[in-house]
Amino acid sequence: MVLNNIKTLIEKYNNAETSLQEEAQLKAYFNGDHVAPEFEHYKPMFIYFSKSKQEQYTKDVPLNSKKTKLYQWISVAAVAVLMLGLIVPSFMGPTEEEKQEALMVYNQTMEAFSLISLGMNEGKTQLSSLALVGENINEGAQQASKLSQFSIMTNKILKNN
């Protein structure tokens, strides 16, 4: 009776039609000591399945992964770089002497520039007098043209006479 039952179960099992309960039944049967000789060759399969299920994962999982640690250190590094950027120039910057020298050079150049601008202004006034001269010359030229007209006229009169 039991044998018949197992036989039909195995048939169903091979066609993948068994339910989980039926499979558990088969497993229990084949893990037991009284397996009929005609099904002996199924035994290792079911024993293997039951044994495999007992295998366990024993390794620890480091949940605080290295990556997050790296991210933490990146912010620290960024702050350090920023601080260096702020502190180094103020320490390594120009000394008092260098500053005074620079100021002197600046003042000298400013003086030289103001001198040049003075000369420029003088030159400008002289230029305006030149422009006046130019105007007078133009007037003279006009008068000269009148004169030449006059001489042409006198020549004509002389020819007629």
Partner 1 sequence: MKQADFVSLVMPFKDKVFRLAKRLLVSREEAEDATQEILLKLWKNNNKIGDYKNVEAFSMTMTKNFCLDRLKSKQASNLKIVHSNYTDNNTSLQHQVEAKDSVDWVSKIMEDLPEQQKIIVQLRDIEEYDYEDIAKMLDMNETAIRVNLSRARKTIREKLTNTHQYGIK
Closer CB to partner 1, 68 or 148, in the complex: 68
* Piece of the chain touching partner 1 by CB under 8 A; list 53-61, 77-85, 103-111, 115-123: 53-61
Q: Does 71 bind partner 1 (CB under 8 A)?
A: no
Q: Minimum distance between the CB of residue 43 and partner 1, rounded to whole angstroms?
A: 8
DSSP per-residue codes, 23-37: HHHHHHHHHSS---G
Pairwise CA distance, residues 46 & 32, whole Å:
11
Q: Minimum distance between the CB of residue 45 and partner 1, rounded to whole angstroms?
A: 5
Tokens of 97: 């002497």
Residue 17 per-residue DSSP state: -
For partner 1, what does the binding mask look like between residues 6 and 45, x meaning CB under 8 A?
-------xxxxx--x--xx--------x------xxxxxx
Pairwise CA distance, residues 16 & 23, whole Å:
10
Write out the residues near partner 1 by the rule CB under 8 A. 13-17, 20, 23-24, 33, 40-45, 47-49, 51-57, 59, 61-63, 65
